[in-house]
A and B are shown apart, each in its own frame.
Chain A
Amino acid sequence: MTTSPVQRIVGAVWHHRLFWPVVALIVLLLACQINSPGFLSIDVRNGALFGQPIDILRTAATPLLLALGMALVIATAGIDLSVGAVMAISLAVSLTYLQGSASAGEVPTVMAAVALGIGVALLCGMFNGFLVSVLGIQPFIATMILMVAGRGIAMLITQAQITTVTSAPFKFIGSGSVFGLPTPVVIAAVVFVIVAVIVRRTALGMMLESIGINREASRLAGVNSRGITWFAYALAGVLAGLAGIVYGAPTMAADANNIGLMKEMDAIMCVVLGGTLLSGGKFYLSGTVIGALILTTIERAVIIFHLPSQITPLFKAIVIIAVCIAQSPELRTWLHKAGGRMRTKTPPSAPSTTASTSSADDPRKEVAVS
């Protein structure tokens, strides 16, 4: 019995780890379109693309920025619970700086404010990384310190007030558009490409994964596990800082109590929806993008379906459970065995040998140092 190329491609797509997340996303989008005709249409208003899909992309930019950093941290078998609080800190720093500046409407001032906010976020990430990689504190506990204290720090910076500023260039970061696309989408896309190139075109990604699989073995094999873990947390901090600025820019209000509240959970959810295991050792950047899009679409779909907001958490839970069950390796193996008499060649554990949807997920990662 031989398999035809068509069969092989179908099998590869079916077994691709992103198959079910992508299906869930498409089903959600189509359901919205059926419920509310015109949902998927995009037109040009005020020289920029406008429409629900564009809104979804723009809203997804924040969880995506958080989740990209989170994915790398999770790859090292860690976790970063502080990203939501770091969002609040960086936005508080940026807006407080702008508020105190006489030229808040000028581009250089705004660039300085953003640099300052991201700089402080980097410090937060370095602090997390120091606790985890140098002092060996468990990531959950180490990052919980900033998760709890971070909001207090942001409150101190804003003096417990909601700092508001008016600055056109700063606002542009959140609600402007570049080549017709919302600025946050462009920022998220650029960051995605940079992160993907850094971790997948160098050995860094493989090292991150090797640390996640066995920290001690990687160290003995010559991987600078301390430095690389530290780097992952620092990067997560920087991206969280950027996310805070992108999230807060449209409204320009540093509400230390609420900015980024529970966003660490959203970030973890995006990473998990994208097929990355919390146990570390493997991570998927393109899957994380799909995860962020699913999360954002779910939240929007609740309103489109005219459902009361009380349902949102339940609705999220149902979609996530469905995707996770569909992704379960046990279930897939079982299904494969059930259909095993039909196919003889494609083993279930090698899904990405064909039809890899993104160059970011280089097949090289399959060869992990262990």
Chain B
Amino acid sequence: MFRTFSKRAGLLAAATVSALALASCSQGASGDGGSGDSDTIRVGFSQLGAESGWRTANTESVKASLTEDAGFDLTFVDAQQKQENQIKALRDFIDQDVDVIAFSPVIETGWDEVLQDIKDSGIPVVLVDRTVTTTVEDPYVTWIGADFRLEGEMAGEWVAENHPDAKIFQLQGTLGSGAQVDREEGFEAAVGADAIIGEATGNFTRAEGKVAVEAALQAYPDMDMIFAHNDDMGLGAVEAIEAAGLTPGEDIKIVTVDAVRDGLQALKDGKFNYVVECNPVFGDQLAELIKQVVAEEDVPLETVVVDKTFDQSITQEELDARLY
């Protein structure tokens, strides 16, 4: 009797499991809404996923800009950080014969075949945020995104100008990520490798940034500035510095990249000294670019999204305008 019970319960559990699995991957994959209207521009957009607040803001910006009112028919597909999903979406776009294909490639390589197919079908490609390495010639007409290296450079230039003698501890992002590698490179080029007395990773998180800075305060007693690869780690650094009885922003200055709301708040409170923006809200620029591509106007091969910089003179209005 117990046997039958446990068998049935097993089935029940299996059903629960598959329901859970379905629930966890039901986001994304919106249907295809192809309309034959000749005035609207039909755009297929394949987003790589929703792995961070930055990405979410980016997605929302794209959706808010490529609207019907603005003359677009957007088919948005979330690839959930899987290349096969993305390739499938791109092939669907070819079948639907959209006017423009835009996508943020989840990784750099492996796109040769599908990009060749798109090229053969004559649909122009706009790359968003990330780039591809491929053997296909002229695989895309234009790329739009942020320049991590430039962000690091801008941070470094401010430091070189305002605090040329700073002894800097660098709080790195997740090792090997594009944001970590390029921001580090740009920053070091601007301040010189000698100015950086030490570095450790905080994996882009507050908690790990805090732990790393706690140890760094002991290991590098003469440091007087921290360059954090994102705001969150900078906020963790603030915690550690305050716990050590020092004043963030004064005893140890903090420079970060991202400019999310919490980071700008810390800047306004005088705990950060300088913040370089990494702007995800470039849907309007993307929309403009797509219109130009469809009108067969000349477009630049690269469009670097304008990143602002903020110092402690930031106003309350600028802070309130920040949505993410």
Chain A residues near B (Cβ < 8 Å): 36, 38-39, 45-46, 50, 52, 55, 59, 131, 134-137, 145, 148-149, 152-153, 160-162, 164, 175, 247-248, 250-251, 253, 255, 257-259, 299-300, 302-306, 308-310, 312
Contacts and interface: CB of A to CB of B under 8 A. Distances in A.
A247 B206 CA distance: 11
B239 A306 contact: no
A95 to B, nearest CB: 13
Nearest to B214: A55
B232 A253 contact: yes
Contacts of A312: 201
B235 interface: yes
Contact of A250 (B50, B201, B239): B239
Contact of A160 (B56, B215, B243, B262): B56
Contacts of A257: 51-52
Contacts of A299: 211
B8 to A, nearest CB: 10
B198 A304 contact: no
Interface stretch (B16-24, B83-91, B105-113, B129-137): B16-24
A258 B245 contact: no
A306 B52 contact: no
A299 B262 CA distance: 27
A136 B6 contact: yes
Interface of B: 6, 9-10, 13, 17, 20-21, 23-25, 50-53, 56, 172, 175, 198-201, 203-207, 210-212, 214-216, 218-219, 232, 235-236, 239, 243-245, 262
A288 B88 CA distance: 48
Contact of B6 (A135, A152, A247, A309): A135
18 contacts: A45-B244, A55-B214, A135-B10, A137-B13, A148-B21, A149-B20, A149-B24, A160-B50, A251-B206, A253-B232, A257-B51, A259-B207, A299-B211, A304-B215, A304-B219, A306-B198, A309-B172, A309-B200
Contacts of A38: 218
B206 A253 contact: yes
Contact of A303 (B51, B212, B232): B212
A315 B52 CA distance: 30
A52 B219 CA distance: 10
A255 B205 contact: yes
Given A131-B13, A136-B6, A161-B53, A251 B235 contact: yes
Given A148-B24, A251-B236, A258-B205, A308 B199 contact: yes
Given A137-B10, A258-B204, 6 more contacts: A52-B214, A134-B6, A248-B207, A250-B239, A251-B239, A300-B211
Contacts of A137: 10, 13
B9 A134 contact: yes
A36 B51 contact: no
A117 to B, nearest CB: 16
Given A152-B24, A160-B56, A164-B262, A59 B211 contact: yes
Contact of A149 (B13, B21, B52, B235): B21
6 tightest A-B contacts by CB? A152-B24, A251-B206, A309-B201, A303-B215, A149-B20, A300-B215
Contacts of B211: 55, 59, 299-300
Nearest to B56: A160
Nearest to A161: B53
Nearest to A137: B13
Contacts of B244: 45, 50
Contacts of A152: 23-25
Q: From A46, A145, A303, name the one whose CB has the most chain B CB atoms within 10 angstroms.
A: A303
A94 B6 CA distance: 35
Contacts of B198: 303, 306
A254 to B, nearest CB: 11
Nearest to B235: A251
Contacts of A303: 198, 200, 212, 215-216, 219
B262 A50 contact: no
Contacts of A39: 218
A38 to B, nearest CB: 7
Contacts of B21: 148-149
A174 to B, nearest CB: 9
Given A131-B13, A160-B56, A251-B210, A52 B215 contact: yes
Contacts of B51: 257
Nearest to A304: B219
A299 B216 CA distance: 12
A184 to B, nearest CB: 12
A222 B235 CA distance: 55
B25 to A, nearest CB: 8
Which of B199, B200, B204, B215 has the largest number of chain A CB atoms within 10 A?
Answer: B215
A109 B204 CA distance: 30
Contacts of B56: 160-161
B29 to A, nearest CB: 15
B219 A36 contact: yes
Contacts of B239: 175, 250-251
Contacts of B219: 36, 303-306
A193 B172 CA distance: 38
Contact of B245 (A50, A175, A302): A50
A152 B235 CA distance: 25
A256 to B, nearest CB: 11
Of residues B6, B13, B23, which shows the largest number of chain A Cβ atoms within 10 Å of its Cβ? Answer: B13
A308 B200 CA distance: 6
Given A161-B56, A248-B207, A303-B216, A145 B17 contact: yes
Nearest to B206: A251
A89 to B, nearest CB: 13
Nearest to B202: A309
A149 B10 CA distance: 19
Nearest to A164: B262
A255 B207 CA distance: 10
B20 A145 contact: yes
A59 B207 CA distance: 10
B23 A135 contact: no
> Which interface residue of B6, B207, B214, B245 has the most chain A CB atoms within 10 A?
B207
A250 B215 contact: no
B218 A36 contact: yes
